[in-house]
Every structure is written in C-alpha cells, then in structure tokens.
Amino acid sequence: MAQKIVMTDLGGFPDFAIEQGIAKEKGYDFVCLKTNKEDEIIAGAKDADGLIVVYAQITEKIINALPKCKIIVRTGIGYNNIDIEAASKKGIMVANVPDYCQGEVADHTMALLLTLVRKVAFLNNQVKKKNWSFIEAKPIPRLAETTLGLYGCGSIAQAVAKRAQAFGIAVQGFDPYLPDDAFAKLNIKKVDADTLFATSDFLSLHAPLTPETQHIVNMATLKKMKKTAVIVNTARGPLVNADDVYKALKEGIIAGAGLDVLETEPPAFPLNLSELENAIVTPHAAYYSDSSEPELRQKATLEVIRTLSEGKPKFWLNKKAFS
C-alpha cells in the first residue's frame, strides 16, 4: 500500500496541483483537506504518513491524533503554527523550507527601505496633490553616509547586506549565533543589541520568532533609536509591537517604518499604521515572485518525500529531540 501525504490547507495557493503531481509521480497517495479546522484535520489526516501545512494551526490535539505520521513540513520559513514540542514527544519530525525566497525578501526589504528613506511614496502623493516640491520631504540623507543595522544575520540578512553595501551603506549586525569570522567575511560590523538600536540609521529585522525575540521592537527599544531612524520588518510580525511603532511614528520618536508582516494577519481594518505618511505596510508579500511560490510548494512536498524515503528531512527543526 502506498504511503499517504496529506496537505491540510491551501493558504493563499490557487490549488494543490503541484503537490499532488509530485506525490503521484513518486508513488504516494495524496489528499488536500482544504481546511484550517482542528476537527476536520484530525478526521482527514488520521492515516497520514506525512503532513504538509501552510497556515493551519497544528495543535497538540491534532498531533496526538496522528498515529502513523512521521513528518510535518511547514510550507514556508516560519513554523510557529506547529506545536513542535508536542510533535517531538510524539516522535514526529518537523521541517520547514528556509531556502526558497531569500532574494525576494532581500529585494522587498530594500524596496521598503529605499521608498521610506528617499520619501518616494510621500513625494508621489505630493505630486498627486498638485504640489511640485520636495521641501516637505526633508531630511533625506545621503545613503553612503548611513548605517544599516541587521537584527539577525542569517542568509536573508546577508543578502540584504550585499544589496545595501552596493548603495554604499555601511552595515552592522547583531546575531549571537554567527561566528566572528563570518561577520568579517561579510563586511558586517559585529555589535551588541543595544548598540544596534542606538547607532543604526536603519534597522532591518531578520530574526526567528522566539520568546526572547517577541516584541523586540517596543517603546523601550524605539526610544533608544535615532529620531531619524527607519525600521523594516520582513521577518515575523510579532517581532514588532505595532501599537508602539504607531505611537513612535506619531510622536516623532523614529522617522519611518516599513512592515510586510504584522502580529495578526489579516489585520483589523481600518489599520492605523497605513494612515500614516511615514509608514508603509504591505500584505505579507515579500516572499512572493512568480518563481518563488512554485519553488516553495515543490520543496515542501519533496521534503516530505525525502523524509519518508530516506528517514530524515534536510531542514530538521526538532532534530535535538531525536538525538
């Protein structure tokens, strides 16, 4: 009997043709439940050997109802919708796809940063109001005289650093897990977190969501920053306390914010941040290109198949629990 792969939900994908096509080509049964509901996932995935998850919350209750499951793969980089502790106790491996959209996210990060710093959106709106003047947009710094701070220096942050350095922007970073020689090789100045907040002209977040990093951008850290500073978040929404950022922008504590991710998605409308001229909010679009989405879906499916055929995933999130 063929092993069975179950996809819980479609997320924003138009269909499940890619996943189904790969599974059938490799000799696996496949079904997509098209649901985020806990009870429906339990009923539909009870005989799954592997699980593909987009946005569905994979709770302890679901995990304990998966007697055959060996692997859960999150279709994306973040994995906070999966109860990894429960999966580890159940002996289920968990993996993600961290290597599929690094260029897209780095490009989007720079797009938000440059739009805010060069006041592109603001000036465009001024012209629409028949105001042919850049005076209201001041100050606009010379990029080659500025410093970008990276909170987290993984692969996406490193791609951002290369792009920023091409504009002549100096780059500094905080990452307790990156070796000193890697900082030197990347031409990123290593600093502590307090220095990063206090001395960066621009701050870009590239950290995973953990209890330690949740709301790392809050009123206390915002007040450490320059009044001319701009922050960008294309990582995880809960890294930022959006209410504090809104207050900081309104009160002139910082100069601008570009957010592609929010703590609650979709947010409740009207969204106060989107009403500010010094804030840009995009709808979790940084990862997307016409090439990155099918790549993501292919890699997620193949990661399930790799685990079922070879015994372990490439990007094994809870490996320590099995050692």
Residue 310 structure tokens: 């070879």
Q: Which of 38, 263, 277, 284 is labelled catalytic?
A: 284
pLDDT at 185: 97
Q: Which of 163, 236, 297, 306 is labelled catalytic?
A: 236
Largest CA distance in the chain: 71
Same domain (yes/no): 184, 316: no
Same domain (yes/no): 294, 274: no
Q: How far apart are CA 43 and CA 229, in angstroms?
A: 50
- Domain containing 182 equals 102-281
Alpha carbon 317 to its chain's center = 16
Exposed/middle/buried for 193, CB within 10 Å: 0-12, 13-18, 19+?
middle
CA distances from 233 to 111, 171, 285 (A): 12, 16, 12
Same domain (yes/no): 130, 22: no
Could you tell me where the beta strands, DSSP code E, fall in the chain? 4-7, 29-32, 50-53, 71-74, 93-95, 147-151, 170-174, 189-190, 202-205, 230-233, 256-259, 279-281
Same domain (yes/no): 139, 239: yes
What does the pLDDT profile of the chain (323 residues) look like in tens digits? 799 999 999 998 999 999 999 999 999 999 999 999 999 999 999 999 999 999 999 999 999 999 999 999 999 998 989 999 999 999 999 999 999 999 999 999 999 999 999 999 999 999 999 999 999 999 999 999 999 999 999 999 999 999 999 999 999 999 999 999 999 999 999 999 999 999 999 999 999 999 999 999 999 999 999 999 999 999 999 999 999 999 999 999 999 999 999 999 999 999 999 999 999 999 999 999 999 999 999 999 999 999 999 999 999 999 999 98
Same domain (yes/no): 167, 86: no
pLDDT at 323: 83
pLDDT at 55: 94
Same domain (yes/no): 173, 136: yes
Element (H, E) at 182: helix 180-186
Q: Which residues contact 295 (CB under 8 A, 6 or more apart)?
A: 100, 101
Q: Is 118 assigned a catalytic role?
A: no
Residue 147 structure tokens: 């410093």
What is the tens place of the pLDDT at every residue in 203-246?
A: 999 999 999 999 999 999 999 999 999 999 999 999 999 999 99
Same domain (yes/no): 164, 64: no
Same domain (yes/no): 309, 264: no
Rounded to two decimals, the pTM is 0.88
Q: How far apart are CA 98 and CA 194, in angstroms?
A: 28
Same domain (yes/no): 9, 111: no
What is the tens place of the pLDDT at every residue in 205-214?
A: 999 999 999 9
Q: Is 206 assigned a catalytic role?
A: no
Give, rounded to a whole angstrom, the gap between the first and last alpha carbons of the chain.
30
Q: How far apart are CA 283 and CA 192, in angstroms?
A: 31
Q: Which of 85, 136, 251, 265 is labelled catalytic?
A: 265
Q: How far apart are CA 264 and CA 173, in angstroms?
A: 27
The DSSP 8-state label assigned to residue 277 in this structure reads T
The answer to whether the beta carbons of residues 65 and 44 sit under 8 Å apart is no
CATH code, domain with 161 = 3.40.50.720
Tell me the pairing of strands 50-53 and 4-7: parallel
Q: Which residues pair with 301 in a beta bridge?
A: none
Residue whose pair of structure tokens reads 């990029």 in the numeric block: 143
Q: Is 40 assigned a catalytic role?
A: no
Tell me the pairing of strands 256-259 and 230-233: parallel
Same domain (yes/no): 226, 147: yes
Same domain (yes/no): 77, 202: no
Same domain (yes/no): 276, 297: no
Number of domains in the chain: 2
